[in-house]
């Protein structure tokens, strides 16, 4: 029996599963994240932690939790956790890959179509009673998607799922970047691995699907955006700080790129000043990539299943530092 702290609302079913596994669960059934001080106090005597991406699990939190054996993040991205520090302390960390891949790719594609065809602007225009007559060249002319070139920055699970939609649904040519070549998308979709400048130069739509790391933080600055076509759109469903928002606003205002669709923001939940007021060819969503009821429930279940395995001395299916398990299970 272990003591588990759940930092925020994850649904009763997932919490019950933890209790059914025999754990004592302290469930903070709230949607507002804790302050760093509150989190440090809450983890003092716990063995397991279930957290969301809005909980920063840094060295201060890890140091405040001498009994902590495992952290289960309810997200695939884990830039909120100091994985290196956890590993050095022998603390297992897990995430929730796969269960959210298709849902997030659907959202990326929804945003891509929404920006290309200016759906939010059209909705606002219509509701404001501005539609007076059909015109051959209306004020809200959009961009074609079918047959265009889609650049995937970060051809991982979600990037590949976006690429599949683009290639098979919309006849798009696929270019990509990643650390290593991805033979499945190359063979099945004819995708080509290119350098980032080449991808930016050729793509009509650029979809960001990398994790947030020191290398990808501010990967998209004004300098990067200037390498894109003036007719191209940027879609970010990865993490906000990958794009320097001030620079993106400048790029949109100056027509450096045609448009952008953002699901994530540099200083979430806020948007850079000026961005909220900028309505033309900019689509924004409040971090909804994986936000369907089915997928969010699966994410909570996956996190809890990982924690139950880890606390039972088994290898968590989605361990990010399995070496900790190997060392502790010797």
Provide, rounded to whole angstroms, the least separation between the CB of residue 219 and ligand NAP.
7
- Is 229 within 8 Å of 203 (Cβ atoms)? yes
Number of residues that bind ligand NAP (CB under 6 A): 32
Distances (CA, A) of 12 to 15, 38, 66: 5, 23, 28
DSSP H or E run through 305: helix 293-311
Provide, rounded to whole angstroms, the least separation between the CB of residue 126 and ligand NAP.
28
Question: Per CB under 6 A, does 295 bind ligand NAP?
Answer: no
Set 239, 245, 266, 281: catalytic member: 239
Written as six digits, the tokens of 67 are 């009994």
Label residue 43 exposed, middle or buried (CB < 10 Å: 0-12, 13-18, 19+).
buried
Distances (CA, A) of 233 to 54, 76, 220, 252, 279: 28, 25, 13, 10, 15
Neighbours of 30 (CB within 10 A): 10
Question: Per CB under 6 A, does 81 bind ligand NAP?
Answer: no
Question: Per CB under 6 A, does 100 bind ligand NAP?
Answer: yes
Question: Per CB under 6 A, does 104 bind ligand NAP?
Answer: yes
CB-nearer residue toward ligand NAP: 2 or 155: 155
| Binding map of ligand NAP across residues 237-276, x = CB under 6 A, - = no contact | xxx-----------------------xx------------
Helices and strands (DSSP H and E) totals, the chain: 14, 12
Residue 23 annotated among the catalytic residues of the structure: no
Residue 239 annotated among the catalytic residues of the structure: yes
Number of residues assigned to the chain:
330
Segment contacting ligand NAP (CB under 6 A): 17-25, 56-64, 173-181, 304-312?
173-181
CB-nearer residue toward ligand NAP: 19 or 218: 218
Q: Give the list of residues 6+ apart from residue 31 with CB closer than 8 angstroms, or none.
A: 8, 9
Residue 165 annotated among the catalytic residues of the structure: no
Find the binding residues for ligand NAP in span 114-153 (CB under 6 A). Answer: 153
Residues classed as catalytic: 239, 268, 287
By the criterion CB under 6 A, which residues form the site for ligand NAP? 76-77, 97, 100-101, 104, 153-159, 177-180, 209-213, 215-216, 237-239, 263-264, 287, 289-290
């Amino acid at each position: 029996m272990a003591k588990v702290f759940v930092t925020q609302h994850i649904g009763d079913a997932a919490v019950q599963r933890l209790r059914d596994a025999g754990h004592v669960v302290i469930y903070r059934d709230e949607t507002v994240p804790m302050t760093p001080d509150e989190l440090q106090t809450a983890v003092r005597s716990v063995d397991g932690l279930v957290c969301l991406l809005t909980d920063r699990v840094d060295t201060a939190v890890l140091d405040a939790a001498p009994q902590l054996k495992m952290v289960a993040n309810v997200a695939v991205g884990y830039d909120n956790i100091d994985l290196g520090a956890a590993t050095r302390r022998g603390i297992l960390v897990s995430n929730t890959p796969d269960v959210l891949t298709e849902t997030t790719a659907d959202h990326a594609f929804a945003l891509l179509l929404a920006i290309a065809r200016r759906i939010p602007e059209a909705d606002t225009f219509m509701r404001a009673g501005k539609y007076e007559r059909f015109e051959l060249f209306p004020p809200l002319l959009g961009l074609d998607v079918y047959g265009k070139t889609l650049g995937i920055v970060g051809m991982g699970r979600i990037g590949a799922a976006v690429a599949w939609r683009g290639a098979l649904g919309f006849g798009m040519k696929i270019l990509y970047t990643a650390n290593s070549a991805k033979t499945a998308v190359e063979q099945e979709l004819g995708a080509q691995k290119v350098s980032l400048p080449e991808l930016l130069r050729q793509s009509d739509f650029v979809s960001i699907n990398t994790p947030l790391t020191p290398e990808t933080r501010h990967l998209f600055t004004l300098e990067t955006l200037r390498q894109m076509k003036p007719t191209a759109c940027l879609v970010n469903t990865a993490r906000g700080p990958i794009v320097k928002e001030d620079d993106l606003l400048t790029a949109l205002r100056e027509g450096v790129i045609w448009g952008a669709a953002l699901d994530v923001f540099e200083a979430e939940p806020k948007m850079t000043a000026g961005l909220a007021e900028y309505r033309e060819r900019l689509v924004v969503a409040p971090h909804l990539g994986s936000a369907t009821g089915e997928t969010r429930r699966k994410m909570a279940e996956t996190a809890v299943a990982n924690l139950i395995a880890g606390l039972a001395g088994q290898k968590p299916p989605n361990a990010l530092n399995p070496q900790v398990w190997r060392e502790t299970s010797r």
